[in-house]
Chains A and B, each alone.
Chain A
């Protein structure tokens, strides 16, 4: 029951600044009509609407107006506040862009309290299948749902389960892959920290479906809070009879344990992960045999990603059909993305498959940081690629992203603007894969290093025209001949930036220029003497004392000492530092 005064919330959604004085005008109007006892005007920091001019939201009526101008104020006060009418011409209909299946409880419940999870239908799916479903029924529902692995590959989950189920072995395992190591990705961490039981429930159901008695959560050691909350959740689930012997009083027995990953990216690859749990060095091995046939300790093993597993309980509770009604023809359900980079609202989002990148960046992310021009969006991390601005209207699903030379990946999504250099981006991701290569196979170990050398020469302005062809040739060799996904996909960022931004590579090679001003060998900082006011700000801020001179004789930058950090450029108030 609303007992508060009527609320007028105001926000200028274009400038990101306060309210261009409209809140004050509202306040004035309210006072003029002596309504201040009944109505209050509040400036909001966000009304979750973007680029719609001044937005005004009225509570408890729940009326939202967009593109409100000063001339509308009197009308709004008179008609909506005093008479309770809606002004059709100003109405804004907010359409919900996000859809929370995986993140249904994240930010809502206390992750350290199982009662909170239980109160929101937690473990109801488990109870339902244990009383009404055979393992075959569970797999049938999974098949109907169309759920595909969220760890990157997009393999149908039901098929994986079905393979493992068909094996005649007595001992089988379920593994949750929580090794999330892509730069810029934190979906799995947030799920484990915000709603650990949802993942446990998914694993227990998987155990029932394939006939496993034991499972492991492989979590990277760099996620201490996630580990702590999972351990606590395991204990609570055991105390409640949801794990261990005779789950919920039935004859189904299943238990879970945690194994820590030491932070090698390659250990996220399923065969390397299994080796790591077995106490061996985390190196991948050739497939087949696939883990569902011959996995942990030689036994049939289902290995699923955190987000995949968090989808299981809602699917079984609401039915595979319900899940399949969300998303596109071949990609069902939702996807969680970690939206970062040059976007106004860095955030963890969940959208139905088929949402476009443009909707994500502009309607959920609030647009590009500082209203700059977007250049590309990177998806799929070091195994993915860039999607240039003109393709942002592509709707996201596994197939579409692949067609564009990127991949869905696990869900990192990095927005890039004109200040991002594509050669530099390619170099960054390749460096990551070179560092993380386990060294077992030559294409990845040698090819990665050679490609990195070439990219470095290009970024230093020493590249040759043949380098582009050379990069493409080594890429093909790595993609074809590497042992595991790491090496096979490591060239993707290079291939994709070359595909869409070859001109930028040529600019570096032929004209020795980096237009984004990122490749520091290709430019110098200089002080423009005509503009310099000799305020000494740059000199005081230079971290390496590379700025010589004083107020009387003026200032110059000593190029031998300069590390090109750009500090002087940033602090100068008179645009007297050029690069």
Chain B
């Protein structure tokens, strides 16, 4: 890994380079893991691999909504950013099948939704 210097911060481009707008994020802190987020993380990864769908599954810390763990955030270009909560193994599969492959938002599990 290259070491950073004071200069690296001065030369920083105004906005970070274009990032992939398509990704899923799973909250993997102690609160999420206790509610089963690690299983959900694995299922999402496996299911996407099985369907040969290229979508990064990322990890994040606690978003604060402990009551709704496990939390899965789905970002697909052209669709709103959706935060699903209380995601079980079954719902995780549904997210892949309906939301990601079928471009169809799920009923009853949205805990936050934004147009971004």
A residues touching B (Cβ–Cβ < 8 Å)?
Answer: 1-4, 7, 9, 18, 40, 42-48, 57, 59-60, 62, 103, 105-112, 119, 123-124, 127-128, 130-131, 186, 189-190, 193-195, 223, 225-226, 236, 239-242, 248-250, 344-350
Q: Give the CA-CA distance A127 to B104 in the complex, in Å.
A: 45
Of A2, A250, A344, A345, which contacts B6 at CB under 8 A? A250
B residues touching A (Cβ–Cβ < 8 Å)?
Answer: 1-10, 12, 16, 27, 29-31, 33, 58-68, 71, 77-80, 85-86, 103, 105-113, 115
Contacts of B103 in A (CB 8 A): 4
Q: Which residue of B lies closest to A43 (CB)?
A: B107
Contacts of B59 in A (CB 8 A): 110-112
| Complex contact B29–A123 (CB within 8 A) | no
Q: Which residue of A lies closest to B85 (CB)?
A: A45
Q: Could you list 16 further interchain pairs (A-B, Cβ under 8 angstroms) beyond the known A46-B111, A248-B5?
A: A1-B77, A1-B78, A45-B109, A106-B60, A107-B60, A107-B63, A107-B64, A109-B60, A124-B9, A190-B30, A194-B62, A241-B3, A248-B6, A250-B6, A346-B67, A349-B64
Given the contacts A186-B31, A345-B65, A45 and B115 also touching, CB distance less than 8 Å: no
| Complex contact A45–B110 (CB within 8 A) | yes
| Complex contact A107–B107 (CB within 8 A) | no
Contacts of B79 in A (CB 8 A): 2-4
Most buried by A among B66, B79, B103, B108: B66
Q: Which residue of A lies closest to B71 (CB)?
A: A107
| Complex contact A18–B108 (CB within 8 A) | yes
Given the contacts A123-B9, A249-B6, A59 and B60 also touching, CB distance less than 8 Å: no
Given the contacts A7-B80, A9-B113, A241 and B5 also touching, CB distance less than 8 Å: yes
Q: Show 12 residue pairs from A and B whose CB-CB distance is below 8 angstroms, ordered by the A residue.
A: A18-B108, A42-B110, A44-B108, A45-B111, A106-B63, A128-B9, A194-B62, A223-B30, A225-B29, A225-B33, A249-B7, A347-B64
Contacts of B12 in A (CB 8 A): 124
Given the contacts A194-B61, A240-B1, A2 and B78 also touching, CB distance less than 8 Å: yes
Contacts of A344 in B (CB 8 A): 67
Contacts of B64 in A (CB 8 A): 103, 106-107, 190, 347-350
Contacts of A226 in B (CB 8 A): 30
Q: Which residue of B lies closest to A10 (CB)?
A: B107
Contacts of B113 in A (CB 8 A): 7, 9, 44, 47, 57, 59
Given the contacts A112-B59, A131-B6, A193-B61, A119 and B16 also touching, CB distance less than 8 Å: yes
Contacts of A62 in B (CB 8 A): 115
Given the contacts A124-B9, A130-B6, A189-B30, A2 and B80 also touching, CB distance less than 8 Å: yes
| Complex contact A59–B80 (CB within 8 A) | yes
| Complex contact B1–A239 (CB within 8 A) | yes
Given the contacts A57-B113, A240-B3, A111 and B61 also touching, CB distance less than 8 Å: yes
| Complex contact B29–A194 (CB within 8 A) | yes
| Complex contact B78–A4 (CB within 8 A) | yes
Q: Give the CA-CA distance A60 to B115 in the complex, in Å.
A: 6
Q: Give the CA-CA distance A346 to B35 in the complex, in Å.
A: 13
Contacts of A130 in B (CB 8 A): 6
Q: Give the CA-CA distance A186 to B61 in the complex, in Å.
A: 13
Given the contacts A103-B64, A348-B64, A3 and B78 also touching, CB distance less than 8 Å: yes
Interface secondary structure of B, over-half rule? loop
| Complex contact B62–A42 (CB within 8 A) | no
Q: Give the CA-CA distance A363 to B31 in the complex, in Å.
A: 22
Contacts of A194 in B (CB 8 A): 29, 60-62
Contacts of A103 in B (CB 8 A): 64
Give chain B nearest CB distance to A137 CB in angstroms. 16
Q: Which residue of B lies closest to A222 (CB)?
A: B30
Q: Give the CA-CA distance A108 to B63 in the complex, in Å.
A: 7
Give chain B nearest CB distance to A225 CB in angstroms. 5
Contacts of A57 in B (CB 8 A): 113
Contacts of B112 in A (CB 8 A): 46, 48
Q: Give the CA-CA distance A194 to B4 in the complex, in Å.
A: 23
Q: Give the CA-CA distance A26 to B31 in the complex, in Å.
A: 36
Q: Which 9 A-B pairs have the closest CB atoms?
A: A194-B61, A107-B63, A241-B3, A3-B78, A127-B9, A249-B5, A348-B64, A44-B110, A193-B29
Contacts of B106 in A (CB 8 A): 42
Give chain A nearest CB distance to B76 CB in angstroms. 9
Given the contacts A130-B6, A195-B61, A40 and B29 also touching, CB distance less than 8 Å: no
Q: Give the CA-CA distance A347 to B33 in the complex, in Å.
A: 15
Contacts of A346 in B (CB 8 A): 66-67
Contacts of B77 in A (CB 8 A): 1, 3
Q: Give the CA-CA distance A47 to B82 in the complex, in Å.
A: 11
Contacts of B80 in A (CB 8 A): 2, 4, 7, 59-60
Q: Give the CA-CA distance A123 to B3 in the complex, in Å.
A: 13
Most buried by B among A40, A108, A127: A127
Q: Give the CA-CA distance A236 to B67 in the complex, in Å.
A: 32
Contacts of B5 in A (CB 8 A): 241, 248-249
Q: Give the CA-CA distance A481 to B32 in the complex, in Å.
A: 43
Given the contacts A130-B6, A240-B1, A190 and B105 also touching, CB distance less than 8 Å: no
Contacts of A111 in B (CB 8 A): 59-61
Given the contacts A57-B113, A60-B80, A110-B59, A240 and B4 also touching, CB distance less than 8 Å: yes
| Complex contact A193–B66 (CB within 8 A) | no
Give chain B nearest CB distance to A231 CB in angstroms. 16
Given the contacts A4-B79, A124-B9, A46 and B68 also touching, CB distance less than 8 Å: yes
Of B6, B27, B111, which contacts A127 at CB under 8 A? B6
Most buried by B among A130, A195, A345: A345
Contacts of A1 in B (CB 8 A): 77-78
